[in-house]
Amino acid sequence: MAKISVLGSGAWGTALAMLLSDNGHEVLLWSPFAEHTEELRRTRKSSALGGLELPAGMQFTSDMKKAGERQDAIVLATASVYTRGVARELRPYVKTGQLLVCVAKGIEEKSLLFQTDEVQEEIPDAVVACLSGPSHAEEVARRLPTTCVAGAADSAVAEQVQELFMNRVFRVYTSTDVKGIELGGAVKNVIALAAGIADGLGYGDNTKAALITRGIAETARLGVKIGAHWETFAGLTGIGDLIVTCASMHSRNRRAGILIGRGKPVEEAMREVGQVVEGVYSAKAALALAEREQVEMPIVDVVNRVLFSELPAAEAVRMLMERDPIAEWNYL
């Protein structure tokens, strides 16, 4: 049994805390909001997960010192836009060699760093890993069969994360391709916005399939350019995560895209979804990274234009369809 803190009491952090508690670990769930912590203690139910009852042994805190000290592992599960700030607040309480597991998905807009890079920059003495894959919080919390990938530069660290999380309904694979895992997790949210926009416009399955397959193609192009492995994008954290995010109404990115496709302004769509829409925050960073690496990402490009340059959604689709004819793969 391990002592584990989960930082972030939203749907994903709470679902993972439930999973870890099921595995027999001593789990402490941290929220930055004292009133939310008190609500969790009092009701032992998660409003973020539709009122699901929380395991009896799970504890709660808003004290970062308590969450950070003397833990075997710490899971960073806040939205990606808050990762650096939370890591900076955590830093004074982290011991050398502390295992930190990043489970948010995104690229920092200013630095173009992935989540593990941000955390490592803020806490250089920690051992940083990630956990990613096609895993809606609502289904993990209901103990529905799910598969993910634990990623770390050192395979032994990835195996340590695998051992903490894996059980009969949550299967975990390992990988040392951290860049590929994190790029796939970040860009899939942008592609899911595009898929939602297409749904909002009333397009069908053909359009969705085109966005998924061409979306993974442009993500893989960028991934290989930054040193990731092509095979990663054919796996759970590539095409797997992209499929589930583009197809499910659990996906806040797809839901926001549907509203945008129906003509709602971006800010209004985000308010209506009621949760952080990660793809909106990752879109600019993904495009900037592609431009830095001189990689063409047409879907990411038009999503940025729809979000930030008032390009009509239907016009964005026309632009994609009327691009110059090319071969599907360069080797052809």
Residues marked as binding for sn-glycerol 3-phosphate? 105, 133, 135, 188, 241, 251-253
Q: Are 45 and 51 in contact (CB under 8 A)?
A: yes
Binding residues: 8-13, 105, 133, 135, 137, 188, 241, 251-253, 276, 278
Binding residues for NADPH: 12, 105, 137, 252, 276, 278
Reduced to 3 DSSP states, what percent helix, strand and coil does the chain have, rounded to the nearest 5? 55, 15, 30
- Write the CB contacts of 253 (distance below 8 Å, at least 6 apart in sequence): 189, 190, 192, 193, 196, 245, 277, 278, 279
Name the token pair of 234.
């054919």
User: Of 65, 179, 188, 208, which one is the catalytic site residue?
Assistant: 188
The candidate with the shortest Cα–Cα distance to 19, out of 134, 144, 189, is: 144
What DSSP letter does each residue of 166-189 carry, written as one string? -BTTEEEEEES-HHHHHHHHHHHH
Our answer to whether residue 188 is catalytic in this structure is yes
Name the token pair of 235.
């796996």
Binding residues for substrate: 105, 252-253
d(CA 3, CA 163): 14
The residues with which 155 forms a beta bridge, in sequence order, are none
Q: Give Cα 195 distance to the centre of its chain.
A: 17
| CA-based R_g, the chain, Å | 19
d(CA 264, CA 199): 14
Q: Which residue has the tokens 């797809």?
A: 254
Residues acting as catalytic residues: 188
